[in-house]
């Protein structure tokens, strides 16, 4: 993915990006704002030599006029567009919330949910009363034999306790949808937060204890009891974390492919009766499954046996409160949730305005209901066609690139091109909009709406099991400023919200558009051939189609990038993880190269004068600057640290400089000499 610090959940192996357009059919920025452009000379700082630090050369002007907002942990050009899109969504939601007989059913749902979310007075007045029936369910748990049915119910309404389960394509048969079990049940961002022993990690675990205790005390526990319960919860979650695969291990799909069936797993879970759990979860009681982390499920089985019932109830109570604290409970809960996850862990100085929280919430919950209105207003058909034309040009460039590789055998090249020709290009929005007719949204019942949405989404997910794969199902909403590649469906996906300046514009030249959006398209295509995506064939099956010698050569080249990024220190004492970020780094480098050769082909056909300067720069220079300017981002040290530990994407500075250092074509365009910082003494290259 080329995503902005989110990425993609059930897409265990995926990719993402972003953009915005200055077209008459689109709403424009406020008159006081700087217009968003793909190539912008006002962002350049010529006092910084391009061959010394190209990121600062391209972006220092942007940094000077864009101080990091107090409510943001990072702020960049992706954020600029995200915030503009969020203003557009706000206008749609406020109009829908105003009511009126002409509202469509979808407008009723998104409008009433927005009004409910904005009504903090009612939320505060209700307190935790809307959650009390679920708290009572947990309190009424009298034996471990009743736990499976209770856990199934809690997971249906959105409580992520113990483990996760859902539908997924069979890794070995991409036409089949089966039940998949995976790890879960943690309150900290990922497993290593529980296991690292450095001083900062120990401090954050202590802060987590204080956070859990604060939430429990807000729910009515005494401070003494809440502190004791927080220790119980941390101990239980630590046991779960120790049984979980690391982020690096999860990046290899082979580590997650463990086909089994319900009967076998049921026999293995000697202390957890799977039948009542599946009944409460409304999942199939038999059939094929993928037990993606057998060690984890075995650990859950042992943990349930060894843990006193009261400790299990404490853990469930915490995860219930944790699931609803952000946005659905009174402001004291919401603020405490922000204080730990955004302020302490990521460095935000101010909580964002409520309308932003509510807008993003509805985009997550009913993204296609909101997106259908958004697309009609902000995404004209010509934008879709322009994006498709560029995608096809870059796919043609990739085919030529595969033919030119001196390290790949003819046998593997045939399979690689077969996979490339099978890629499906999905642009803007789904062909068929999601049906929300069975989802009930009640004005004034925000927490209840959240439970009903979770139940609705759960039912939709479980209904996929045993049915043909829905190849029109998107994992991002149309207004999203991002993109992704799905290896099991072999498709690239570019939501409408991304296809705008500062990433793409019909009013700017090809050098800018190919350097920016073209590199994104190439990035997503490259994901099909990175260290994860290359393990899937043209049909999306987990199957090795490489010769042994080609696979060895690929891995040798990939190891070059692992070493390169391992050497980068994101913040003092914390280096990037070259293996965790490998897929994204490969996609950044391969994607930019594909955009470059596709653009050169276009300039050749157009007989472009490569020496002519526009706004002071040659076409080649404009291409590289446009690439760099998409990454202009201010980031807090806390976020850099968190990202280095958990994010598969490298920090934006290195998505620029580290990538360009590997490309001699860049150095030639700016006359950079060996020995200068922007010229790698040992460039890495695969595609």
HSE of 572 in the Cβ direction (CA atoms, 13 Å)? 1
In tens, the pLDDT along 409-424 reads: 999 999 999 999 999 9
At 5 the pLDDT is: 30
Q: What is the mean pLDDT of residues 225-235?
A: 98
Indicate the angle between helix axes 354-365 and 77-97, nearest 10 degrees: 80
For 556, residues 6+ apart whose C-beta sits below 8 A from its C-beta are: none
Tell me whether the CATH fold assigned to 41-67+379-430+474-669 matches the one assigned to 129-328. no
d(CA 509, CA 613): 12
What are the strands of the beta sheet with 491-495, ordered from one edge? 424-428, 491-495, 484-486
Rounded to an integer, what distance in angstroms lies between the CA atom of residue 126 and that of residue 663? 59
**Best CA proximity match to 193, nearest among 295, 345, 349:** 345
- Is residue 353 predicted with pLDDT exceeding 50? yes
pLDDT band at 100 (very low <50, low <70, confident <90, very high): confident
3-state secondary structure of 290: strand
Q: What is the pTM of this model?
A: 0.93
Look at residue 53 and give its three-state secondary structure.
coil
For residue 641, the model assigns a pLDDT of 96
Contacts of 359 (CB under 8 A, 6+ apart): 86, 89, 90, 93, 114
Mean pLDDT of 614-636: 98
**Per-residue tokens: 637:** 């040290």
To the nearest 5 percent, what fractions of the chain are helix, strand and coil? 55, 10, 35
Average pLDDT of span 572-580: 97
DSSP H helical ranges for 98-143 = 105-118, 120-126, 132-139
Helix (H, G, I), strand (E, B) or coil at 173: strand
Lowest mean pLDDT among 355-359, 380-384, 416-420, 511-515: 380-384
Select 129-328's CATH number: 1.20.1530.20, 1.10.10.60, 1.10.1380.10, 2.40.50.100: 1.10.1380.10
- Asked if residues 479 and 428 have their Cβ atoms less than 8 Å apart, the reply is no
For the chain, give the percent of residues with pLDDT over 70: 95
Domain layout of the chain by residue ranges: 41-67+379-430+474-669, 129-328
Terminal alpha carbon distance of the chain = 17
Residue 656: both structure tokens together: 């620029």
Token readout for 184 is: 């879960």
Per-residue pLDDT tens over the stretch 483-514: 999 999 999 999 999 999 999 998 999 999 99
- Burial track 454-483 (b if 16+ CB lie within 10 A, e otherwise): bbbbbebbbebbeeebeeeebbbbbbbbbb
> What would the pLDDT profile of 456-491 be if each residue is shown by its tens digit?
999 999 999 999 999 999 999 999 999 999 999 999
What is the per-residue burial (b if ≥16 Cβ within 10 Å, else e) of 155-181? bbbbbebbbbbbbbbbbebbebbbbbb
- Res 19 pLDDT > 50: no
Q: What is the rounded CA–CA span in Å between residue 180 and residue 465?
A: 10
Q: 41-67+379-430+474-669 maps to which CATH number?
A: 3.40.390.10
- Confidence class for position 361, pLDDT limits 50, 70, 90: very high
Please give, one letter per residue, the 3-state secondary structure of 600-615: HHHHHHHCCCCCCCEC
Q: What is the pLDDT of residue 101?
A: 87
Buried/exposed code over 603-626 (b: 16+ C-beta within 10 A; e: otherwise) = beeeebeeeeeeeebbbbbbbbbb
Is 10 a residue whose pLDDT tops 90? Answer: no
Q: What is the pLDDT of residues 101-143, one digit of tens each?
A: 899 999 999 999 999 999 999 999 999 999 999 999 999 999 9
Rounded Cα distance, 377 and 383, in Å: 13
User: Span 617-635, mean pLDDT?
Assistant: 98
Question: Residue 202 above 60 pLDDT?
Answer: yes
pLDDT band at 99 (very low <50, low <70, confident <90, very high): confident
Average pLDDT over residues 183-187: 98
- DSSP-assigned letters across all residues of 559-574: HHHHHHHHT-EEETTE
Q: How many CB atoms lie within 10 A of CB 444?
A: 13
Element at 289 (helix H, strand E): strand 288-291
Residue 33 has a pLDDT of 62
Cβ-contact 83, 653 below 8 angstroms: no
Q: What's the rounded mean pLDDT across residues 245-250?
A: 96
Query: For 25-78, what is each residue's pLDDT tens digit?
Result: 333 343 346 789 999 999 999 999 999 999 999 999 999 999 999 999 999 999
């Amino acid at each position: 993915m080329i995503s902005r610090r989110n990425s993609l959940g059930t897409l265990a192996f995926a990719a993402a990006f972003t953009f915005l357009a200055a077209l008459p059919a689109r709403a424009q920025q406020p008159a006081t704002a700087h217009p968003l452009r793909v190539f912008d000379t006002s962002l350049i700082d010529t006092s910084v030599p391009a061959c010394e630090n190209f990121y600062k050369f391209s972006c220092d002007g942007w940094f000077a006029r864009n101080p990091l907002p107090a409510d943001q942990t990072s702020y960049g050009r992706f954020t600029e567009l995200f915030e503009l899109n969020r203003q557009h969504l706000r206008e749609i939601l406020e109009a829908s919330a105003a009511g009126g007989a002409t509202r469509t059913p979808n407008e009723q749902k998104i409008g009433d949910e927005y009004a409910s979310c904005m009504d903090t007075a009612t939320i505060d007045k209700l307190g935790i009363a809307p959650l009390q029936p679920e708290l009572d369910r947990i309190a009424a748990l009298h034996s471990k034999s009743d736990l499976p049915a209770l856990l199934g119910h809690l997971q249906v309404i959105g409580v992520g306790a113990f483990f996760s389960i859902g539908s997924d394509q069979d890794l070995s048969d991409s036409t089949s949808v089966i039940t998949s079990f995976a790890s879960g049940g943690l309150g900290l961002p990922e497993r290593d937060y529980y296991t690292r022993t450095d001083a900062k990690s120990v401090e954050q675990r202590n802060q987590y204890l204080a956070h859990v205790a604060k939430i429990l005390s807000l729910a009515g526990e005494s401070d003494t009891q809440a502190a004791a319960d927080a220790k119980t919860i941390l101990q239980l979650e630590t046991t779960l974390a120790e049984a979980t695969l690391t982020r690096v291990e999860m990046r290899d799909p082979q580590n997650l492919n463990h086909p089994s069936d319900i009967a076998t797993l049921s026999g293995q879970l000697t202390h957890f009766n799977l039948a009542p759990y599946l009944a409460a979860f409304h999942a199939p009681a038999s059939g094929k499954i993928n037990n993606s982390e057998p060690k984890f499920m075995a650990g859950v089985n042992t943990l349930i046996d060894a843990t006193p019932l009261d400790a299990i109830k404490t853990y469930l109570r915490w995860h219930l409160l944790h699931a609803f604290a952000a946005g659905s409970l009174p402001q004291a809960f919401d603020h405490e949730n922000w204080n730990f996850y955004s302020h302490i862990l990521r460095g935000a100085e101010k909580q964002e305005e409520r309308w932003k929280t509510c807008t993003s919430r509805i985009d997550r919950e009913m993204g296609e209901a909101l997106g259908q209105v958004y697309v009609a207003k902000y995404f004209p058909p010509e934008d879709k066609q322009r994006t498709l034309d560029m995608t096809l040009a870059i796919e043609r460039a990739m085919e030529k690139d595969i033919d030119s590789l001196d390290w790949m055998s003819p046998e593997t090249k045939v399979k690689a091109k077969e996979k490339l020709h099978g890629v499906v290009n999905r642009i803007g929005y789904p062909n068929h909009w999601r049906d929300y007719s069975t989802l009930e949204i009640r004005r004034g019942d925000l927490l209840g709406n959240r439970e009903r949405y979770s139940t609705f989404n759960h039912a939709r997910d479980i209904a996929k099991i045993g049915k043909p794969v829905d190849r029109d199902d998107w994992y991002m909403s149309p207004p999203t400023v991002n993109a992704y590649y799905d290896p099991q469906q072999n498709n690239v996906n570019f939501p409408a919200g991304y296809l705008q300046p500062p990433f793409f514009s019909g009013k700017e030249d090809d050098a800018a558009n190919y350097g920016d959006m073209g590199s994104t398209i190439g990035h997503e295509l490259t994901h099909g051939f990175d260290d994860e995506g290359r393990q899937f064939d043209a049909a999306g099956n987990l199957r090795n189609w490489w010769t042994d010698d080609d696979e060895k050569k690929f891995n040798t080249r990939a190891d070059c990038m692992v070493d390169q990024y391992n050497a980068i220190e994101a913040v003092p004492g914390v280096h990037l993880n070259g293996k965790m970020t490998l897929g994204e780094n490969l996609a950044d480098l391969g994607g930019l190269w594909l955009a470059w050769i596709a653009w050169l082909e276009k300039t050749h056909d157009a007989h472009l004068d490569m020496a002519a300067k526009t706004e002071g720069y040659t076409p080649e220079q404009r291409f590289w600057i446009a690439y760099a300017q998409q990454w202009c981002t201010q980031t807090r040290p806390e976020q850099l640290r968190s990202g280095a530990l958990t994010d598969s994407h490298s920090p934006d500075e290195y998505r620029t400089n580290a990538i360009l250092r590997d490309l001699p074509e860049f150095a030639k365009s700016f006359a950079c000499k060996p020995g200068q910082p922007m010229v790698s003494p040992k460039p890495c290259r695969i595609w």
